[in-house]
Structure 1
Amino acid sequence: MSMKKRYFIMTGLIMLTITALVLSFQAVFASTPLDGEEALGRTLAKQAVKNSKRWTTVDHAKIDALNRDFTSGEEITQACLSCHSEAAIQFHKSIHWTWLASGDKSDMRYGKAGYSVNNFCISGNAMEDKGCLSCHPAWNKKGVQGEVNCLQCHNSSGFNFNEALGDIEAFSKDGDPDTKEMMKDLQNEVKEAVVKINFPTRKNCGDCHFTGGGGDGVKHGDLDTSLTKPNRLLDVHMGTDGKDFSCTRCHTTVDHNIAGRIYTNPAVATRKSLLEDDLAPKITCESCHSSEPHKNDSKMNDHTDVVSCQACHIPTYARVNPTEMWWDWSKAGKMKDGKPYVEEGPFGKPVYKSIKGEFKWEKNVVPEYFWSNGSQTSTTADDVIDPAQIVKVSHPVGDRTDPESRIFPFKIHRGKQPYDKVHKKLLAPMLSGEKGYWETFDMNAAIEHGNKTIGIPYSGEFDYVETTYAFPITHMVAPKENAVNCTQCHIRENSRLASITELYMPGRDKSNLFDTIGWLSVFGALAGVLLHGLGRFFTRNGKEE
């Protein structure tokens, strides 16, 4: 055989070896197969929402109890209860009413009506801070002493019932004929609006949950007014040009108890698909998509026991509206010409308010990632802290060894808030009302009043401590084509999962042992092919073709 022919044979063998290795790596790391088969998770999800259109057997405009003049919210509630006799009893046991995680006043540890604090408006002061009660579903900010306001969650009119009914009450005490006529007009408006009854819409839920903490997008990052009428690019489930889901499509409800995490309690104890339990809450991705949502031969299915769906399918949050990332109470109280002021910054959002302090806002925020089993720690006003450290007011619970834990995306809100220098506890200043900070600008007096309200002793000495508060990111699910790319995590520099160090991640991590084994395998395979080719070549007994 000529040298030229031998050269071409050897070159061909080497090229075949390299091609085989490249194809092997592509097969291992491919995220989706090339065939047209639909992913199992998508098929199951379509089946789960096949008959998702709401239907009803009642027209509330034809209900006699609602076709009358109302002079108070309590009268409207009694009209509702004339048919829905058990609704108030059920609702009085829910956290939306009690604002206590336990639902029982004997356990005040967790809840806005208890000892819970955050690094936003800090405390609900046992429902005595009236500024918080606009989001409590009782009439006229009466808290648990009032009647349930059914319309806050079940009316689609957008009508301001509290204002109208307050005017009606005032007009009823005036004998002037013109005033009586105005009252009659208002009563007709109330009567027209009160019959617009519905299952809770995104706007009903969002009136509180989109603006928690005192403004649009302040708290969650993945919940703001952009989700009232989002498109599919913002959220594939809630997009009006997509599935147009309401919140209760996933936050399923039994006896007015709505599925979801409550302080330290996870949303569900175990992940189950509807195939395993057709009555399971639909609060997890696995409920509709199963634990192996991708195509059968997809490498991505090997990730679901370690990586949450949200980690890949929510690349950023606050994609339309900005979200608050920093709140420094230590800067509050500054005045201009003896008066409180507001300073506006980027995105048209305040970066300073005399009544609240300093803020920072961001858009298109990449989440921070932690191990999470669905539960979170919660530091209360009754817990001792270490002021020399950053205090984690709320933080995910989980680790690599916990089978229920997954790598999960979070918004971490940072700030500074007051703490007791003697008792080493976070404090609960009263903000609204005559004795509140927003009226007096006296933080010490506001703390004294607030802590007395919740029953926690205050030494009279305070300072400020840096804190963090973690919010799980689970809304604003992007279309699959916009999901996080493999190389955004499996990369040496600037990996999204740089903080997750408890496991070896190919592409991100370097191990001399693994690298040696890998290169030995590559060169071993190459040497095997070359030796085989050489063996075949030199054992031909010198015969020429």
Structure 2
Amino acid sequence: IKNKHWTWRFDDPITGQKLGKSVLVNNFCTNARGNEGMCAQCHAGFGMKDSNYDFSNEENIDCLVCHDATGKYYKTPPTKGNKACSVMFEGLKPINWTNVAQHVRLPARSNCGTCHFFGGGGDNVKHGDLSSVLFHPPRDVDVHMSEQGENFACIICHVGEGHDWAGSRYIMIAKDEKEHAKPKPGMERETATCESCHGDKPHPTTVRGLKQNDHVDRVACESCHIPAFARGGVATKVDWDWRTAGRLRNGEGYKEEGYKQGNGEWRHTYKSIKGSFKYDENVKPLYRWFNGVMRYTTIDTKFDPSKPVEINYFSGDPADPDSRIWPFKRMHTVQPYDKGNNTLVYMHLWGDDDAAFWGNYDFAKAIKVGMEKNGIPYSGEYGFIDSYSYWPINHMVAPKEQALACEECHSKDGRLKNLDNFYMPGRDAPRWLDILGILLVLGTLAGVLGHGLLRVILSRRNS
């Protein structure tokens, strides 16, 4: 009953912030709070209509959303919303409850993916490294999930006890070197990290492997072993502009398909209910120092409107021993905010009333009602502001032969060219100095090996 899939809340013990879908504002559909009727299709409970839901009643827990094996189980909102959204639920076949009840299992990738692959309003929209490709990925897209690889289900790494799953994005472990975190897959552990299976010296004891192991305390495994995200033919959303939402044709909302992704399918680049979008595929991540501590701009956070708002921002520094270089997806959005109070806003998006934006396209009404329903002060004046959110990349691990080559980072114009305040060979010094350094290292190694060999030879002579 404390599971975040059920509570939609999380109290961060490090920052003290109250987090979770029930309170946070994001830069996709902006807020679940006040729109529970739509968002609760992926909630592990029955009948969530609004923020007054009774989380103490365990009879409301929906086991089937995670344990159904038929793929035919679904939930619909308590109301179909306005005309613009009601079409989403047309043509659904009635659930065969007897069949569903006879097919219950441990959560499979299809259960997790039904929600997590489609978060933010579409396939791979939000995370960038979680898409429908991962239902049956080729080995070169994800070596762990592929049937030609390890064929892991999500719960192999995201091990849970009492339905409290390891691996929450709200409390991450950027650097895991604890002995208790290294059992085999499927065994109980507190973390879902690369080290929990591979240890903190994962490379072979060759000269090259030993040098690679020297990187482990400074570079996250994902930075080298996930060369790009949004691979396999499904694009991810990278830009969203709410300002264009609400345009009509013949008095009705409409959609435009303007992006053809790698698998041949078209993606919407405009929807009247949401605005304009941009997508990208095979994206090189943004690299930043990260120590696992993430802070969020919440509904009551005041900010300087002359600067972009960081929806979430993270700690990390090359001088911090708990920090590593991590890969991220960065999402850009132009979204509404309270122009008088300089805060973000809750919008009333979903519903069949005249204030719900998804159908009536009135920002003023949608924001006013969204704030009032949740008891949040609102100045009555809204504007639009640039925002960024950052999504750590953990999935779509490529086979080892596709890991980044040294020169991808160790070069003047490499992937880490914009990371400051630390020295990196191949990037920060004249080439002759790097060559001299390499020669000195090789010379030292040759001297040590020669000295050892000489001792072996002399010992044999003396014996």
TM-score of the two chains, using structure 2 as the length reference = 0.81
Distance 1:135 1:217, change over 3 A: same
2:374 to 454, 466, 471: 454
- Check whether the contact 1:261–1:375 (CA below 8 A) recurs between aligned residues: no
CA shift, 1:397, in A, is 1.9
| Partner residue in 1 for 2:199 | 290
Query: Are 1:96 and 2:14 counterparts?
Result: no
Q: Which stretch has the larger CA shift, 476-485 or 275-284?
A: 275-284
The Cα of 1:421 is off from its aligned counterpart by 1.2
- Residue 293 of structure 2: which of 366, 375, 400 is its match? 375
Paired positions, count: 404
Q: Could you tell me how far apart the structure 1 residues matched to 2:377 and 2:364 are?
A: 13
> Quick one: which of 206, 217, 220 aligns to 1:305?
217
Q: 1:243 — aligned with what?
A: 150
- Partner of 1:191, secondary structure, is helix
The reply on whether 1:471 has 2:396 as its aligned counterpart is no
Q: Report the aligned-residue RMSD.
A: 2.7
Letter paired with 1:272: K
Task: Give the superposition deviation at 1:247.
Answer: 0.7
Q: Provide closer, same or farther for how the CA distance between residues 233 and 100 of structure 1 changes in structure 2, counting only shifts above 3 A.
A: same
Q: Which residue of 2 aligns with 1:336?
A: 249
Who wins on radius of gyration, i.e. which is larger? 1
Query: Following the alignment from structure 1 to structure 2, what is the Cα–Cα distance between the partners of residues 480 and 269?
Result: 20
Shift of 1:108: 8.4
Aligned partner of 1:220 among 127, 147, 157: 127
Inter-partner Cα distance in structure 2 for 1:229 and 1:155: 18
Alignment match, 2:31: 123
8 Å Cα contact 2:218/2:323 also seen in 1: yes
Question: 2:178 maps to which residue?
Answer: 272
Q: CA shift at 1:267, angstroms?
A: 4.6
Given the alignment of the two structures, is residue 111 of structure 1 paired with residue 20 of structure 2, yes or no? yes
Q: Aligned partners of 1:223, 1:521: CA distance in 2, in Å?
A: 43
Shift in alpha-carbon separation, 1:275–1:194, aligned structure 2, 3 A: closer
Task: Check the 8 A contact 1:272/1:280 in 2, yes or no.
Answer: no
Residue 164 of structure 2 aligns with which residue? 257
Shift of 1:197: 1.1
Q: Secondary structure at the match of 2:277?
A: strand
In the alignment, is the contact (CA less than 8 A) between 1:261 and 1:267 conserved in 2?
Answer: no
User: Is the alpha carbon distance of 1:419 and 1:275 closer, same or farther for their aligned partners in structure 2, counting shifts above 3 Å?
Assistant: closer
Match of 2:451 in 1: none
Query: Residue 380 and residue 391 in structure 1: after superposition, are their counterparts in 2 closer, same or farther (change >3 A)?
Result: same
Q: Which residue of 1 aligns with 2:338?
A: 420
Which residue in 1 is equivalent to 2:141? 234
Native 8 Å contact 2:240 2:276 kept in 1: yes
Contact 1:260 1:268 in 2 (8 A): no
Q: 1:490 and 2:410 equivalent?
A: yes
Q: Partner of 1:18 in structure 2?
A: none
Tell me whether 1:508 sits opposite 2:427 in the alignment: yes
Aligned: 1:481 with 2:401? yes
Q: Does 1:393 align with 2:296?
A: no
CA contact (8 A) 2:302 2:342 kept: yes
Question: What is aligned with 1:159?
Answer: 72
CA distance in 2, matches of 1:463, 1:216: 29
Task: Give the Å deviation of 1:275.
Answer: 7.4
Structure 2 match to 1:325: 238
Contact 2:123 2:132 in 1 (8 A): yes
Q: 1:276 to 1:342 in 2, by over 3 A?
A: closer
* Cα distance change, pair 306–337 in 1 and its aligned pair in 2 (3 A): same
Provide the C-alpha distance between the structure 2 equivalents of 1:213 and 1:462, rounded to a whole number of angstroms.
23
Task: Indicate how the Cα distance of structure 1 residues 235 and 273 shifts in structure 2: closer, same or farther if over 3 A, else same.
Answer: farther
- The alpha-carbon deviation at position 281 of structure 1 amounts to 2.9
**Matched residues in 1 for 2:226 and 2:175: separation?**
23
- Distance in 1 between the 2:299 and 2:109 partners? 32
Matched, 1:132 2:39: yes
* Aligned twin of 1:346: 259
Displacement, 1:439? 2.2
Contact 1:415/1:466 (<8 A) preserved:
yes
Whole-angstrom CA distance in 1 between matches of 2:295 and 2:154: 25
Q: How has the CA–CA distance of structure 1 residues 142 and 463 changed in structure 2, closer, same or farther, with 3 Å as cutoff?
A: closer
Rounded to whole Å, the distance in 2 between the matches of 1:385 and 1:284 is 34
CA distance in 2: counterparts of 1:401 and 1:421, whole angstroms: 38
- Structure 2 distance, partners of 1:316, 1:262, is 19
Q: Secondary structure at the match of 1:123?
A: coil
Deviations 1:456-493 (Å, cap 9, x if unpaired)?
Answer: 11100010000001000000000001111111111112
- Output the CA distance in 1 between the equivalents of 2:213 and 2:290: 19
Identity %, equivalent residues: 40
Q: Which amino acid aligns with 2:125?
A: V
Residues 379-432 of structure 1: per-residue CA shift (max 9 Å, x gap): 111100111111110123211122111100000010111111111101111111
Shift in alpha-carbon separation, 1:444–1:271, aligned structure 2, 3 A = farther
Larger helix share, 1 or 2: 1
In structure 1, what is the Cα distance between the partners aligned to 2:249 and 2:399? 48
1:404-419 correspondence to structure 2 within 5 Å: 404-419=322-337
1:327 match: secondary structure: strand
Q: Which amino acid aligns with 1:336?
A: R
1:516 deviates by 9.7
1:140: how far off?
A: 4.0
Cα distance in 1 for residues equivalent to 2:289 and 2:32: 29
The equivalent residue for 1:87 is none
Q: 2:289·2:326 contact (CA, 8 Å) conserved in 1?
A: yes
Matching residue's letter, 2:404:
V
- Structure 1 gaps, min length 5: 1-91, 167-185, 526-545
Q: What SS does the aligned partner of 1:408 have?
A: strand
Conserved 8 A contact 1:129-1:430 = no
Kindly provide the amino acid, as one letter, of the partner of residue 37 in structure 2. K
Q: Find the counterpart in structure 2 of residue 173 from structure 1.
A: none
CA offset digits 1:218-270 (Å, max 9, x no partner): 1000001110111211111111111111111111101111112343x325885
Give the Cα–Cα distance (whole angstroms) in 1 for the partners of residues 108 and 412 of structure 2.
44
Shift of 1:120: 0.2
Deviant stretches of 4+, over 2 Å: 139-146, 160-163, 265-282, 514-522
Taking the aligned partners of 1:138 and 1:249, their CA distance within structure 2 comes to: 24
How far residue 455 of structure 1 moved from its aligned partner, in angstroms, is 2.1
Task: State whether residues 490 and 508 of structure 1, in contact with CA within 8 Å, keep that contact through their aligned partners in structure 2.
Answer: yes
Instruction: Kindly indicate which of the two structures has a greater share of residues assigned to strand.
Output: 2
TM-score by length of 1: 0.70
